[in-house]
Structure 1
Amino acid sequence: MDKKDQRYQDYVSILKKELVPAMGCTEPIAIAFAAALAKEKFNQEIDAVDIYASGNIIKNVKSVIVPNTGGRKGIPVAAVVGIIAGDASKNLEVISEVSEEQRAAIDTFMKEKCIRVHPLKCENALELEVIVSNEKSYCKVKVAQEHSNVVLIEKNQEILFEKSICGKEQKDEAYASLSMEDIYDFALTADLDDVKDILQRQIDYNTAIAKEGIEKCYGAGIANMLLKVYGDSVQVKARAMAAAGSDARMSGCELPVIINSGSGNQGMSASLPVIVYAKELQKSKEELYRALLISNLSTIYQKQFIGRLSAYCGAVSAGAGAGAGIAYLLGGNYENITHTIVNALAITSGMICDGAKPSCAAKIASAVDAGIMGCYMYQCGKQFYCGEGIVQKGIKATIESVGELARKGMKGTDEEIIELMIKNDK
């Protein structure tokens, strides 16, 4: 692909936008970000905090530890740490620096102030509002469609900032150029000077948190269990590293990750298995970078039809993307890569997202396993065909159909999942 081609520039800009650092699960971090920005704009003593959150925000904040809070969970904690210690200019690393005094102040604030959480009925799966107030004033910050996408800042009925949103996620025009043919072309021909800093940061950050997860056995300890029970083959290590990063992240590890499509779990699932395979196969740094271009961009391509949040587990898309990157490292061509994705989607599409929590690590291990299985299936001359379940004719039609399944078909499933999760708190 020629560097002067608009698609080339689009793909570089997509990678710069999507592969960014975040500390902790991105849904509580989005709340902390909005709260920090609301406090900054309010600039007064706060007596009350109201958080309005969509169902998908609620389910993804409920069971994960918010980093730098001393092991605390929940929407109120996410908002309060943003108010007390947040720096909105750091985006999704908004609470990366919290002192011991500030941690202690969280409990005091929660005891002395009025904090209310309200379910938000809205079209967007990802939408929230944080309102800070006292008897005389208020400030509202609204975030929608992406985790740090501010669409409204309002103070005492004065609109300080506003931009329109619609009922479905809005994407830059660059995303319209995504296709598997062009992703493959870009990955093989890209000038690595344009992308290597982005990809090397992903390698460094995500490898660091995965190693931390294995060494300290966070959460459900899925990675350590895999290595103990199934051995240390490359296939197992690929699953274990991705699971370890998730276990650490869900349990409040304070190391940042490089996200993909708004999700740290997806960022780790799309990258760590590819990194493990490249090391095992003794591939060059260039080959690893090009494999990561395939895994990351194919994950983003799938997710644009699904949305940031839904009842469909995003690890499925990332696991398929990882399988595609592995297929490239194993010498696969375009056909190997696309059939790997189709095979993987035929195996694990339908895995539900019931919120961020320790079991995400196990789901990641399963999704990566499907990606690896899909890869080796095609190497062995086997594949799933059009008409077999949800598989359609060609990669484009299959990915779009999975998007329809996730976005429309599983909408009722999402509502039921949220209802079941809320019921557990009653």
Structure 2
Amino acid sequence: MSQMVWKEYIKALKNEVKPALGCTEPISLALATAKARSVVGDEDILSIVAKVSPNLMKNGMGVTVPGTGMKGLAIAAAAGAVCGDAEAGLEVLKNINADHVANAKKLLDQNLVSVSIADVDKVLYSEATIKTQNHVAKVCIADTHTKIVRIEKDGEVIFEEPIIEGKGHTKPYDLTGASIADIHDFCTNAPLEDIAFMKDAETINTALSVEGLMNDYGLHIGKTMMKQLDKGFIAQDLMTDIMIRTSAGSDARMGGATLPAMSNSGSGNQGISATMPVVVVADFLKASEEDRIRAQALSHLVAVYIHNTFPALSALCATSTAAMGAAAGMGWLLGDKKLDVINDAICSMIGDVSGIICDGAANSCAMKVSSTANSAFKAVIMALDNVRVTGQEGLVSPTVEESIRNLGSLVSDGMKQTDAQIIKIMINKSQC
């Protein structure tokens, strides 16, 4: 494989594996309001009018915004306007404090913030218009959570990047021609210094997991499972440890912890799902620093590669594909770095968890994170025993690449109506 292709893999990791504070959909809107606020200046806010795509609405309605103790897009918009760092990307709310929260709540109490669905042909889109006594600013974000495509001030466009309706965003890297085999080769043999930055994924997401086990965030699934060990309801073993430590990270992240997650493909939960199972197995094996880094790179890059076969937001719970990355990383560590173990584990996961739907970001996401982590380890231990879901069953084909394409086709084409129905149900619920 050429060094040029390896450079694309490094770019993919650096672009798709980034720290993010809070669920990235409401954070995207907070970034839009923070940028709009920076344009109008420090005058008193008269109104904030936010509009988002249906999928962003779905993923922003039920999740806690970090540091606020409140759920939803309205508080995210208000917080972004009050204290958001417009240059901090997915960490836009990193400076939030109690005074900021009080001021953001005042905007809500005074009915100065509105959020509705935008009429756009974009899966990922948010816009915010802030009006003060002397100025009005509008900021639009599209295609990725942090890509600002338009800024207006007092009716004048001061920045614009063309949006082609119905067309996907061109990514700053190219995975054309990539394969699980090539990714495996890269992560096994690339110079360690080229991928050493992947150590940060372990450091950041482990801290989030520890936080989730120490406090009652969200549904505190990880902490609850840990309590059951003493009762004998569950056993202390590697699979249980994987489920507990992985779900705890999601508990904290969805429950409003003010620690960042290392995200994958624009999602903190995907980052946690790709990271923590590999960390737990590496701890169990007492793996070397080099093997830990290479396994993290493999997990995250496989997750990015599979996720690139379908839209950024869809009806599929993408922790399932992130956990396929984790299966690759765990399989590499436990299976003597053998490619066949990785291929078989991914195929078995496609046969197992490809039907898990995304019904919006919420505390319950930690349950799905736990389930997909369990599936990943189960698929790995099957593969270690030379067992996999065969190519004659369901979505699974004889090869891993065909199986991934089948999954991508299902999500991109077959699940569109499912996604629309989920959004319709959720919107109707919110209006009851």
Alignment TM-score > 0.5, same fold? yes
| Partner amino acid, structure 2, of 1:208 | A
* Equivalent in the alignment of 2:429: 424
Gaps of 5+ in 2: none
SS in 2 for 1:116: strand
**Post-superposition offset of 1:368:** 1.2
SS in 2 for 1:210: helix
User: Matched residues in 2 for 1:94 and 1:14: separation?
Assistant: 22
User: Matched residues in 2 for 1:391 and 1:34: separation?
Assistant: 41
| Partner amino acid, structure 2, of 1:376 | I
Change (3 A) 1:191 1:263: same
Matches within 5 A, 1:256-275: 256-275=260-279
**Post-superposition offset of 1:106:** 1.4
Matches within 5 A, 1:300-311: 300-311=304-315
For the 8 Å contact 1:7–1:177, the answer to whether it is kept is: no
User: Matched residues in 2 for 1:336 and 1:146: separation?
Assistant: 33
* Equivalent in the alignment of 2:184: 184
| Partner amino acid, structure 1, of 2:370 | A
* Equivalent in the alignment of 1:399: 404
SS in 1 for 2:245: helix
State whether structure 2 residue 239 is matched by structure 1 residue 240. no
* Equivalent in the alignment of 1:77: 75
User: Matched residues in 2 for 1:240 and 1:51: separation?
Assistant: 37
SS in 2 for 1:195: helix
Change (3 A) 1:178 1:378: same
* Equivalent in the alignment of 1:355: 360
State whether structure 2 residue 175 is matched by structure 1 residue 175. yes
Number of residues paired by the alignment?
422
State whether structure 2 residue 411 is matched by structure 1 residue 412. no
| Partner amino acid, structure 1, of 2:151 | I
**Post-superposition offset of 1:357:** 1.0
User: Matched residues in 1 for 2:409 and 2:244: separation?
Assistant: 30
User: Matched residues in 2 for 1:206 and 1:114: separation?
Assistant: 36
State whether structure 2 residue 40 is matched by structure 1 residue 42. yes
**Post-superposition offset of 1:355:** 0.7
Which string of whole-angstrom CA distances, capped at 9 and with x for unpartnered residues, describes residues 150-208 of structure 1? Answer: 11112233221111233243223423253212101101111111221x21211111000
User: Matched residues in 1 for 2:130 and 2:373: separation?
Assistant: 42
State whether structure 2 residue 352 is matched by structure 1 residue 340. no
User: Matched residues in 2 for 1:37 and 1:259: separation?
Assistant: 22
Q: 1:138 aligns with which of 123, 136, 139?
A: 136
For the 8 Å contact 1:38–1:139, the answer to whether it is kept is: yes
Bigger mean CA offset, 262-271 vs 71-80:
71-80
| Partner amino acid, structure 1, of 2:154 | N
Matches within 5 A, 1:313-392: 313-330=317-334, 331-392=336-397
* Equivalent in the alignment of 2:107: 109
For the 8 Å contact 2:44–2:133, the answer to whether it is kept is: no
User: Matched residues in 2 for 1:309 and 1:174: separation?
Assistant: 20
Q: Which runs of 4+ in 1 moved over 3 A?
A: 134-137
Bigger mean CA offset, 242-251 vs 210-219:
210-219
User: Matched residues in 1 for 2:215 and 2:112: separation?
Assistant: 37
| Partner amino acid, structure 1, of 2:287 | K
**Post-superposition offset of 1:91:** 0.9
For the 8 Å contact 2:11–2:172, the answer to whether it is kept is: no
For the 8 Å contact 2:12–2:173, the answer to whether it is kept is: no
Which string of whole-angstrom CA distances, capped at 9 and with x for unpartnered residues, describes residues 92-113 of structure 1? Answer: 1111112332222112222335
| Partner amino acid, structure 2, of 1:153 | I
User: Matched residues in 1 for 2:98 and 2:211: separation?
Assistant: 22
User: Matched residues in 1 for 2:22 and 2:177: separation?
Assistant: 31
TM-score normalised by L of structure 2: 0.94
Bigger mean CA offset, 96-105 vs 337-346:
96-105
* Equivalent in the alignment of 1:252: 256
SS in 2 for 1:338: helix
User: Matched residues in 1 for 2:367 and 2:98: separation?
Assistant: 33
* Equivalent in the alignment of 2:199: 200
Q: 1:231 aligns with which of 229, 235, 242?
A: 235
Bigger mean CA offset, 148-157 vs 244-253:
148-157
* Equivalent in the alignment of 1:295: 299
Bigger mean CA offset, 130-139 vs 373-382:
130-139
Identity %: 35
**Post-superposition offset of 1:358:** 1.4
Q: 2:120 aligns with which of 103, 119, 122?
A: 122
For the 8 Å contact 2:67–2:258, the answer to whether it is kept is: yes
For the 8 Å contact 1:209–1:256, the answer to whether it is kept is: yes
User: Matched residues in 2 for 1:165 and 1:334: separation?
Assistant: 40
SS in 2 for 1:174: coil
| Partner amino acid, structure 1, of 2:255 | S
User: Matched residues in 2 for 1:363 and 1:233: separation?
Assistant: 20
